[in-house]
Amino acid sequence: MREPDFNALAERLLQCGIAPRHAHRTVNEIRDHYDDLVDAAVDDGIPIRRARQMATRELGRMEDLVAQMSARRELKTWAFRFPRAAIVVYPLACLAVLPAVPVNAGIANAPLLARWGASLLAAGVLTAALLLVLQLSILFG
């Protein structure tokens, strides 16, 4: 038997709609329990490889855990519990947040925007000065 893949378990729980806080807490608890089982077996004089096999067997199949947790509605995210509400709320939230994105980007990049604005101003003044010189040369030339 192989050692359980706890990262795959977390990913599978998240894909089934389990809230991230519940999924990560469960995976951490199972990982700690697995480590405790292995340590206890090693303390009893069992070789590490055999201890890991015994701990994996004692934990059981991860698919069973995923199925049991997926059946519990209270562990799922609100979007999985209320999909029709999520269809309405998510776009409205994006619509409300969308105007704030450029403002936040502008605040975060204020020095860059100031340099860019100064460069545009200098380019505009230079272009206007050249056009003025050309107009005056046409007028007086």
The per-residue pLDDT for range 28-60, each reduced to its tens digit, is: 999 999 999 999 999 999 999 999 999 999 998
Q: Which helix (H) or strand (E) holds 27?
A: helix 20-43
Domain that holds residue 111: 102-140
How many other CB atoms are found less than 10 A from the CB of residue 50?
Answer: 12
Residues 39 and 60 in one domain: yes
Q: Is 81 exposed, middle or buried (0-12, 13-18, 19+ CB in 10 A)?
A: middle
> What is the model's pTM?
0.62
Question: Residue 20 has what pLDDT?
Answer: 95
1 in a structural domain:
no
The total of structural domains in the chain comes to: 2
Question: Residue 97 has what pLDDT?
Answer: 86
DSSP 8-state class, residue 75: G
Mean pLDDT of the chain: 91
pLDDT tens per residue across span 52-90: 999 999 998 999 999 999 999 999 999 899 999 999 999
Residues 12 and 70 in one domain: yes
Residues 107 and 40 in one domain: no
